[in-house]
Amino acid sequence: MLDGFKKFILRGNVVDMAVGVVIGAAFGGVVSSLTKGLLTPLIGAIVKLPDFSNLKFQFRGSDFLIGEFINAGISFLLIAAAVYFFVVLPVNWLVAHMHKEEKPAAAATKKCPECLSEIPIQAKRCSHCTQPVLGKVA
């Protein structure tokens, strides 16, 4: 019973996912502090309202905290932008440069013009239908 559990835990997918969750949580803290410490005050300085949490309205005795919703929306947009510009774009750039397309290898075979079977490039006669083949045929 424990052997199966050990095999499950030590599979690459489970370990990779665990590492991703831990790094994601740590990165979430960094992005949250960036949002709260730098970006939200910057927006507040532009809009002249540093924190929207005081915005609310009452309806039939219930408080609707619209400012909290605005703060959460701004935080979401800023976090999404930070993740996109500081993680997604650089990783995509790195992947694109690591997997530069190599020139395709020269074809090793060609098609016989008579029977359309694959034959070696240097063949002068088709091994299937015995027709003579001249030059390179695509």
- Give residue-wise pLDDT tens across range 66-99: 888 887 787 788 778 877 888 788 888 888 887 7
Please state, in angstroms and as integers, the Cα–Cα distance from residue 10 to each residue in 14, 18, 58, 112, following that order: 7, 11, 54, 52
SS3 138: coil
DSSP state of 53: G
Question: Please, which residues have CB within 8 angstroms of residue 78's CB and are 6 or more apart in sequence?
Answer: 34, 35, 39, 40
**Tokens for 18?**
């665990």
The whole-model pTM stands at 0.46
SS3 64: strand
**Tokens for 105?**
């290898």
pLDDT confidence tier of residue 137, bands split at 50, 70 and 90: very low
Helix residue ranges, H only, the chain: 2-9, 12-34, 40-47, 66-83, 89-98
Q: Which domains does the chain have, with CATH numbers?
A: 2-98 (1.10.1200.120), 105-138 (no CATH)
Mean pLDDT of 107-112: 85
> In the prediction, which pLDDT does 95 show?
82
